[in-house]
Amino acid sequence: MRVACCLVLHKQNEAEHAASDVSDTTTAAHSEQDPAATPACDAIASEPSPRGVCAGTGIIAAHALMQQLLAKAFLAAQSRATVLVHGETGTGKELIAAAIHGNSKRRTGRFVRLNCASLSESLLESELFGHERGAFTGAIGQRKGRFEQAHLGTLFLDEVSEIPLALQVKLLRFLQEREFERVGGDETLQVDVRVVAATNRDLRAMVADHTFREDLYYRLNVVRLEVPPLRARPSDVPLLAEHFLARYAGENEKDMRGFAADAMAALVGHAWPGNVRELQNVIEQAVVLCELDEIGLDDLRMHVGTRQDDPIRLIVPGVTLAELERFAILKTLDSVGGSPTKAAAILGVSRRTIQYRLREWGIATGLERGVDEPFDDAS
């Protein structure tokens, strides 16, 4: 069965992760009332819609790399294994973790999040394991930690690489024995929790530098999922851009009809060092500041094209001929200012071929504004 999904990032900021105690967890009873609180990807293995969107998920995509990733995530979801999700910042690692939870037997339990980089060592220990009354100054009562909150569910540890070495020992013990003590307590507690961890750092290199425990690395790295950067799947950029355009146009009560060809070419050709989060920000800003009903190149507040130190890499195998064709056409249009005639001359095809492809992709209308020739409808 074909698995398709494209990462639409709805990740909360770090402060929200650190501050929330109960608000970032959901029970089975709450999940029906607030499905967004625990993103469940029940359609992760469903056939995609024509635009590559899987209904009922927080993930939207069509690229082969994402399909391969989500197929592995679906298999991992059926197990009890600990999962390590690795990828650059802004790629949507939390959504992958939520998809694993939503497709597992634990989906009726809580999906609890914790950003390990946002707290000091002492606070992080209390957040993970809880504390007893009087355990430290300000501990006026007993508090359950994230492990207890996630009993019979999933605990997502974001930026797990930032856990201090002293706490890594306690996390390792839990992964091995499934037991722990609250801070300031002597009662040994046992809970049934599945751990999904995420990081954008090279844990192997950290092990070599003695900043991350090797034994903990192997305990976390039972199933490893690599989330590809956005630049490695350029065919997903139009899907994401259109999604964010519709979303923010609706939020701002603006009637937007799409992107001009040069704008879309620039989006596809950009390196996206910030990945989906950066794209989301660029589209939201463009919608807010655009004075027309179509996003043009001038509306995009970004460095157009790729960075010299971070060129686009198309992974072959891993992309289809259609994706290669789309990338070549849009990238060439970007380099010649959106002119189909000039792009056709460079690519060795007819101008009509360029125009029909753009119309097929739903961005041909952008050529009707500020370009040297009209659409050629001759057969």
Sorting pLDDT into bands at 50, 70 and 90, what band is 18? very low
Q: Give the per-residue pLDDT at 50.
A: 38
Q: Give the per-residue pLDDT at 265.
A: 87
Domain boundaries, the chain: 14-228, 231-368
DSSP output for 211-280:
SS-HHHHHHHTTEEEEPPPGGG-GGGHHHHHHHHHHHHHHHTT----EE-HHHHHHHHHS--TTHHHHHH
Whether 156 contacts 111, CB under 8 Å: yes
> Tokens 């979303």 sit at which residue?
247
**Better-scored residue on pLDDT, 353 or 27:** 353
Residue 229, pLDDT > 70, answer yes
CATH code 3.40.50.300 for 14-228: yes
| Mean per-residue pLDDT of the chain | 78
pTM over 0.85: no
Among 170, 163, 80, 90, smallest CA distance to 130 is for 170
Sorting pLDDT into bands at 50, 70 and 90, what band is 23? very low
The class that CATH gives domain 231-368 is mainly alpha
Q: Give the per-residue pLDDT at 140.
A: 74
pLDDT, tens digit (0-9, with 9 covering 90-100), for 294-353: 999 889 987 544 443 444 445 555 567 777 788 888 878 877 777 888 888 778 888 888
Q: Give the per-residue pLDDT at 132.
A: 78
Domains 14-228 and 231-368 share a fold: no
pLDDT, tens digit (0-9, with 9 covering 90-100), for 238-290: 999 999 999 999 999 999 999 998 888 889 888 898 999 999 999 999 999 99
317 upstream amide cis, omega within 30 of 0: yes
Whether 307 contacts 271, CB under 8 Å: yes
Among 241, 223, 211, 238, smallest CA distance to 329 is for 238
Number of continuous H segments (helices) and E segments (strands) in the chain: 15, 9
